[in-house]
Amino acid sequence: GKDKELIRNSWESLGKNKVPHGIVMFTRLFELDPELLSLFHYNIKDGSMQDCLSSPEFLDHVTKVMLVIDAAVSNLDDLNTLEEYLINLGRKHEAAGVKVQSFAVVGESLLYMLQCSLGPAYTATLRQAWLNMYSIVVAAMSSGWTK
Ligand code: HEM
């Protein structure tokens, strides 16, 4: 429907520049919740946000996150096909020390990145369409948590 079109069209250019957009998203995430920095172990102990954002491993993670979003956008018609993958991905994040509640602030950061890049094209309808897709992804990932 219309929501899927909004998501696909808005992702078309963003998805071609995954790393810069992912950096905007994670910069926002660490502003909103600086404690999340410490979950990236390759981040030097007590490293600054800048140290983390410029480490190659961290940039790999940024790319991984953007590729999952890309996969969700590509499979909008049948997000169920990603379910097993996302449950397993959730399991890995539990092991990495991530809390399910942190996905709310990840979602806020995703919306912030969309707002920054889309400008006037970032409408209430578009925001809601993205939130709906993101909720499905998070619900699947969250069901991977064992505790
Ligand atoms: C792996 C942290 C959010 C996708 C990892 C790893 C850590 C981590 C520590 C393992 C090391 C690495 O691969 O860099 C976090 C934190 C997050 C977060 C702290 C936010 C609170 C997300 C989100 C997605 C995602 C929202 C995608 C929707 C991935 C992928 C991997 C990964 C695809 C690789 C898993 C594998 O090895 O198979 N994450 N992550 N992450 N993360 Fe995240």
Query: What is the number of the ligand 1 atom nearest to the C-alpha of 58?
Result: 14
* pLDDT score recorded for residue 62: 97
Count of alpha carbons within 13 angstroms of residue 72, beta-carbon side? 23
Ligand 1 atom nearest residue 102's Cα: 21
Structural domain boundaries enclosing 66 = 2-142
Q: Is pLDDT of 47 > 80?
A: no
Confidence of residue 50 (pLDDT cuts 50, 70, 90): confident
Q: Among 51-55, 58-62, 82-86, whose mean pLDDT is lowest?
A: 51-55
Residue type, 70: D
- Asked whether 101 and 36 are in contact (CB, 8 A), the reply is no
Tens of pLDDT, residues 99-140: 999 999 999 999 999 999 999 999 999 999 999 999 999 999
Count Cα atoms within 13 angstroms, Cβ side, for 143: 11
Residue 147 located in a structural domain: no
pLDDT score of 140: 98
Looking at the structure of the chain, the number of domains it has is 1
Tokens of 41: 């172990």
pLDDT of residue 147: 77
CATH label of the domain that carries residue 60: 1.10.490.10
Q: Does ligand 1 come within 6 angstroms of the Cβ of 64?
A: yes
Residue type, 34: P
The answer to whether the CB of 65 is under 6 A from ligand 1 is: yes
C-alpha 131/C-alpha 115 separation (Å) is 13
Query: Does 74 map to a domain?
Result: yes
Asked whether 61 lines ligand 1 (CB < 6 A), one says yes
Q: What is the pLDDT of residues 82-96, one digit of tens each?
A: 999 999 999 999 999
User: What Cα–Cα distance (Å) separates residue 18 from each residue in 38, 121, 144?
Assistant: 23, 19, 26
Determine the pLDDT at residue 43.
59
* Any ligand 1 atom below 6 A from CB of 39: yes
User: Is the Cβ atom of 30 under 6 angstroms away from ligand 1?
Assistant: no
Report if residue 22 sits inside a domain. Answer: yes
Query: Is 89 a domain residue?
Result: yes
Q: Which has more confidence, 49 or 141?
A: 141
Q: What is the pLDDT of residues 24-44, one digit of tens each?
A: 999 999 999 999 998 987 656
